[in-house]
Amino acid sequence: MPTISVRLLKGRSIDQKREFVEVVTREAASILKCGPDVIDIIFEDVEKHDWAVGGKLASDK
Amino acid sequence: MPTISVRLLKGRSIDQKREFVEVVTREAASILKCGPDVIDIIFEDVEKHDWAVGGKLASDK
Amino acid sequence: MPTISVRLLKGRSIDQKREFVEVVTREAASILKCGPDVIDIIFEDVEKHDWAVGGKLASDK
Amino acid sequence: MPTISVRLLKGRSIDQKREFVEVVTREAASILKCGPDVIDIIFEDVEKHDWAVGGKLASDK
Amino acid sequence: MPTISVRLLKGRSIDQKREFVEVVTREAASILKCGPDVIDIIFEDVEKHDWAVGGKLASDK
Amino acid sequence: MPTISVRLLKGRSIDQKREFVEVVTREAASILKCGPDVIDIIFEDVEKHDWAVGGKLASDK
């Protein structure tokens, strides 16, 4: 049942996402003591003009 | 004030979403004892390559 | 895979939540064309002093 | 560390978002007593057919 | 309709939250061009052992 | 900037969470090509009566 949401700036490739879900699902199942089949991972790509740190949009840096 | 967020794989039609919000708002108002007007429902369409179950992207299945 | 998150003011009973998940899962499966077993519903109870509408905390109304 | 997520109907300009993050980061840092550099603000634009209030999609109003 | 979610480490007072929602609702309404009454703000207090930056729980720092 | 939210049933220990954030931050930094210091991980513990799969609360299983 663990559900892992990953918000990140747009631009990562599907290969990176594929590797991420393989590795993180395996580690999460091992550390949290659950079957890998009950682990969901969802990516939310965020545009640079939709993410600000310190009051500045990432697209303005 | 209840806010209902629905994450689902991309591909459902606007007609399905329209029916969903009609039915679920009516049921939620009745069960949770609140007016329908204070219920928000928001859909988040997720691409197949952004959702993994069991360490595998939905686009790889 | 649909994941339904429900944010609501604290105070609903477990019986109300049980009825909600039974009804909404059945309706969601029927409208969204998926098996009920892949539908997750998660409640997030919010304290009155943690939810504001119109600039006023619900606990101040 | 505060993370502020803003869900809103699509259509606001980048200028509005830029002004929003400048003002809200400054106010949040002052009220919550933290440095502006640890404040993240993320916008989630929502399509009109993905947001319903009172059982009606915003695109149907 | 804008919905603003604020995740922050536990420990802020209700007075700080009250001031935050007053100020941020007023600024948001002005910048995003909407009535204050349609703006929701929800706080999510997070325990120090539930928030990590750089691989370290805040409770371990 | 990646922000990783982990929703899971209540009951995991702080030691499990500590190990999780160490391992996942290291792997995420390596796969997503970013510094570990910009990665946030936040846990959301969910009560068994607040999570349903297949229309059944986890507390009823």
Q: What is the pLDDT of residues F9-58, one digit of tens each?
A: 999 999 999 999 999 999 999 999 999 999 999 999 999 999 999 999 99
* pLDDT for the residue F46: 98
Closest to F4 in 3D by CA, of A30, E50, E41, A53: E50
The residue with tokens 């954030």 is F21
CA–CA gap between residue B61 and residue B51 (Å, rounded): 11
What are the backbone dihedrals phi and psi of residue C10, each rounded to the nearest 5 degrees, phi first?
-55, 150
CA–CA gap between residue E9 and residue C11 (Å, rounded): 24
Using an 8 Å Cβ cutoff, are F27 and F34 in contact? no
Quick check: C10 pLDDT over 90? Answer: yes
Question: CA torsion, points B32, C12, D4, D29, in degrees to nearest 10?
Answer: 130
* pLDDT for the residue B52: 98
B–F touching, 3+ CB–CB pairs within 8 Å:
no
Closest to B28 in 3D by CA, of C13, F52, C20, C31: C20
Q: For the range C46-50, what are the long-range contacts, defined as Cβ-Cβ under 8 Å and sequence gap of 24 or more?
A: C46/C7, C46/C8, C46/C9, C46/C10, C46/E42, C47/C9, C47/C10, C48/C9, C48/C10, C49/E14, C49/E17, C50/E17, C50/E42, C50/E43, C50/E44, C50/E45
Task: Say yes or no for a CB contact (<8 Å) between D31 and E19.
Answer: yes
**What is the DSSP secondary structure assignment for residue B39, as one 8-state letter?**
-
What are the backbone dihedrals phi and psi of residue B37, each rounded to the nearest 5 degrees, phi first?
-65, -20
* pLDDT for the residue C42: 98
Quickly count helices (H) and strands (E) in chain D: 1, 4
Residues of chain E found within 8 Å of residue D20, distances taken between Cβ atoms: 27-28, 31-32
User: H or E stretch including A11?
Assistant: none
Alpha-carbon distance D43 to nearest alpha carbon in chain F (angstroms):
14
* pLDDT for the residue E20: 98
pLDDT in tens, C19-57: 999 999 999 999 999 999 999 999 999 999 999 999 999
Mean pLDDT of A22-29: 98
Task: Say yes or no for a CB contact (<8 Å) between D3 and F3.
Answer: yes
* CB hemisphere CA count around B48 (13 angstroms): 6
Domain boundaries, chain A: 3-60
Quick check: E1 pLDDT over 90? Answer: no
3-state secondary structure C20-50: HHHHHHHHHHHHHCCCHHHCEEEEEEECHHH
Closest to C20 in 3D by CA, of B20, B7, F10, B30: B30
pLDDT in tens, B2-52: 999 999 999 999 999 999 999 999 999 999 999 999 999 999 999 999 999
Alpha-carbon distance A61 to nearest alpha carbon in chain C (angstroms):
32
Alpha-carbon distance F57 to nearest alpha carbon in chain D (angstroms):
25
Residues of chain F found within 8 Å of residue D42, distances taken between Cβ atoms: 3
Reported as a pLDDT band with limits 50, 70 and 90, residue C1 is: confident
* CB hemisphere CA count around A45 (13 angstroms): 15
Alpha-carbon distance A49 to nearest alpha carbon in chain F (angstroms):
13
Q: Tell me which residues of chain E have a C-beta less than 8 Å from any C-beta of chain B.
A: 1, 3, 40, 42
User: Where are the alpha helices (H) located in chain D, listed in sequence order?
Assistant: 14-32
CA–CA gap between residue E41 and residue A9 (Å, rounded): 24
Using an 8 Å Cβ cutoff, are D6 and D42 in contact? yes
Proportion of chain B in helix, strand, coil states, percent, rounded to 5: 45, 30, 25
A–E touching, 3+ CB–CB pairs within 8 Å:
no
**Which residue of chain B comes nearest to E4, CA vs CA?**
B3
Of B36, B42, B45, Cβ closest to residue D55: B36
Quick check: D1 pLDDT over 90? Answer: no
Task: Say yes or no for a CB contact (<8 Å) between A39 and B53.
Answer: yes
pLDDT in tens, E2-60: 999 999 999 999 999 999 999 999 999 999 999 999 999 999 999 999 999 999 999 99
* pLDDT for the residue E52: 98
Q: Of D61 and A51, which is predicted with more confidence?
A: A51
* pLDDT for the residue B5: 98
CATH of F3-60, one of 3.20.20.150, 3.50.50.60, 3.40.50.300, 3.30.429.10: 3.30.429.10
* pLDDT for the residue F40: 98
* pLDDT for the residue B1: 81
Closest to A22 in 3D by CA, of F2, B54, B58: B54
Residues of chain C found within 8 Å of residue A42, distances taken between Cβ atoms: 3
pLDDT in tens, D4-37: 999 999 999 999 999 999 999 999 999 999 999 9
Task: Say yes or no for a CB contact (<8 Å) between C3 and A1.
Answer: no
